[in-house]
Chain A
Amino acid sequence: MTSRQLSKHATRIGFWVLVALIVVIAVFPFYYAVKTSFTPSSELFRVELWPSRLDVSNYVQIFSQRSFLQAIFNSILVATSVVFIALLLGITASYALGRVRFRGRSTVLLVILGVSMFPQVAVLSGLFEVIRTLNLYNNPGGLILSYTIFTLPFTVWVLTTFMRQLPMELEEAAIMDGATPWVIITKVFLPLMWPAMATTGLLAFIAAWNEFLFALTFTLTDSQRTVPVAIALLSGGSAYELPWGPIMAASVVVTVPLVILVIIFQRRIVSGLTAGAVKG
């Protein structure tokens, strides 16, 4: 073997070692969470890489709590509503911003982008007042409203970019066929925008599903909480015990749907994020 071949092999091996390292660092915390969720609390602090046996008592425990089931239901309700509202408003707004010529269009786009620059904490107290005034405190409606506010800028921007890349002649052909703007959006553009909608919809869903700060602030009772807050507020047998097992079980339960969604939509996401980058 010549030294050149040798160095080629060394580079290759080095590359795969690096990849393996990155994968371990990324995946290990999640793996350990899954492993912990299957470990009974008595064995929790024995350090093992592989679970000695699968113990489902943690899962049984969280699913026997009515408040946790209610929290999952609330999360699903809030996240799907946010996705639906954000996409509906996003599509119509992006048609206006992407296709209709009007004065101040770029100003509007910049303001939309500017809004999303504020950290959540900065608007927390103001938003709290708004939600109180609208009588949405301790109500999923309040969360839907506040998440939609934070999701819309991203949705509108991505969809506007995508909308602008759709050929102008397609819209004009529809106009010649007698289509109104609403028909153009629903019958012509919508079917072509699925990749972009899947991407933005999924990201909106994940944001709403995982959000903690607003969910903690704008809800009061167990029956109105979403999953992240419910997990954080899981309590153990005494004030001195953190119920790690159930917390990890609950985390796994709420993460798995997201992982499945991402796997289902992953090809769409990639094509959605790169769509129009190259003329195809």
Chain B
Amino acid sequence: MASVTLDKVNKVFGSTHIIKDVDLAIGNGEFVVFVGPSGCGKSTLLRLIAGLESISDGELSIGDSVVNDLPPRERGVGMVFQSYALYPHMSVYENMAFGLKLAKAAKETVHERVMATARILQLEELLERKPKALSGGQRQRVAMGRAMAREPRILLFDEPLSNLDASLRVQMRNEIARLHHRLGSTMIYVTHDQVEAMTLADKIVVLNGGRIEQVGSPQELYQRPATRFVAGFIGSPTMNFLPAKLLGADESGCRVSASGMPHLELPQDAAGLTKGTALTVGVRPEHLRLTEAQGDNSFEIVNVEYLGNEVYVYLDPKEGDTLLIQRSEAPTYWSVGQRVALSPDPAHVHLFNEQHQALGLDQASVAA
């Protein structure tokens, strides 16, 4: 168990700059999830920590020591790969014992550790089997066992569940969460699936284009996204974005006009912006209320999806091609073709400036 600190870490492949000035502190025993769209550098960042790629610039420390130039085996990290990458010619036992044997551990120690790991992961029955005789979930557990057997200080997971089918994925997600509670070791987990990120993480790191967009707990990221990217990435269905204009601002908040809505009185601090500045209003589907309306300032309902416990109403956005979504509990009396106006709950409206940064809450209104 150990903490991990990244200080201005950069990675350059040839002429492409993959990781740009990443600063990050991961505490002892934390479960941290790197999330982002494909190509955002999340896997590269994990591989930098593992030691499979060299760091171009910056400093990486595990515990108290800088490990930039240490090979993986001396960093005390274990890694679970997306394809599991089990040694096909070795039994489950040999797979788990391989690293220990290479570390020249005594025979009894090897046996003890492998058996202990197998007990935790319920692999005792499978120790003599070859990987090809295992199911997907079992292979996944063996891959974790192999990473754990050497008792690494940090466990790394590179999209470990993406090769499993949906139901098994939920089950393994639970097992990983329980494993973290039981072992209490530092874990770093890479995924492109925001549901995995939300459910597993103590701390989510959202990456985009090689930079950290935001670091925070799942609640923070969901309730107070720092950028428009994070707002759109976290949450399903995604947040609705509407173009808006600043009408005025004072110390208690600001007034904003957006198409299809009444003028909004928001608690955000827009004091530094001039009147008329273009902004983006963001509202999550569940915070959108619909009211019947006519005329220019209304939207047409183009589809209604009934999901049993809830209903999604899709609206034609007029500008752009991303449909607006409203989510409410079933039943609904809206139907396709009706025209509606939006009336969001001001407490749950997000406001983004032209640089896609979220406008902060006014200090007074936070206190209140």
Contact = CB atoms under 8 A, between A and B. Distances in A.
Find the residue from A169, A179, A191, A192 having the highest chain B CB count within 10 A.
A169
B52 A172 contact: yes
B88 interface: yes
Contacts of A43: none
Contact of B79 (A170, A173, A179, A187): A173
A178 B81 contact: no
B87 interface: yes
B72 A173 contact: no
A208 B50 CA distance: 46
Contacts, number: 53
Contacts of B50: 176
A177 B89 contact: no
B257 to A, nearest CB: 53
Interface in B41-89: 50, 52, 71-73, 77-79, 81-83, 85-89
Nearest to A172: B52
B96 to A, nearest CB: 10
Contacts of A177: 73, 98-99, 102, 146, 150
A174 B50 CA distance: 13
Contacts of A175: 52, 71-73
A42 to B, nearest CB: 58
Contacts of A178: 72-73, 99, 102-103, 150
B147 interface: yes
B81 A169 contact: yes
User: Size range of the interface on B?
Assistant: 20 to 34
Interface in A187-244: 187-188, 191-192
A173 B72 CA distance: 10
A193 to B, nearest CB: 10
Contacts of A179: 98, 102
A183 interface: yes
Contact of A167 (B77, B83, B98): B83
A178 B50 CA distance: 12
Contacts of B81: 169, 172-173
Contact of A172 (B73, B85, B88, B146): B85
Contacts of A170: 85, 87
B178 to A, nearest CB: 24
Contacts of B72: 175-176, 178
Query: Chain A: interface secondary structure?
Result: helix
Nearest to B98: A177
A188 B88 CA distance: 9
B164 to A, nearest CB: 16
Contacts of B73: 175-178
Given A167-B85, A169-B85, A176 B102 contact: no
Nearest to A177: B99
Interface in A58-110: none
B77 A188 contact: no
Find the residue from A169, A175, A177, A191 having the highest chain B CB count within 10 A.
A177
Interface string A142-184: 0000000000000000000000000101101111111100010
Contacts of B150: 177-178
A73 B103 CA distance: 44
B82 A169 contact: yes
Contact of B89 (A172, A173, A183, A192): A192
Find the residue from A167, A172, A176, A192 having the highest chain B CB count within 10 A.
A176
Nearest to A173: B85
Interface of A: 167, 169-170, 172-179, 183, 187-188, 191-192
Interface of B: 50, 52, 71-73, 77-79, 81-83, 85-89, 98-99, 102-103, 146-147, 150
26 contacts: A167-B83, A169-B83, A172-B81, A172-B85, A173-B85, A173-B87, A173-B146, A175-B71, A175-B72, A175-B73, A176-B50, A176-B73, A176-B77, A176-B78, A176-B99, A177-B73, A177-B102, A177-B146, A177-B150, A178-B99, A178-B102, A178-B150, A179-B102, A188-B87, A191-B89, A192-B88
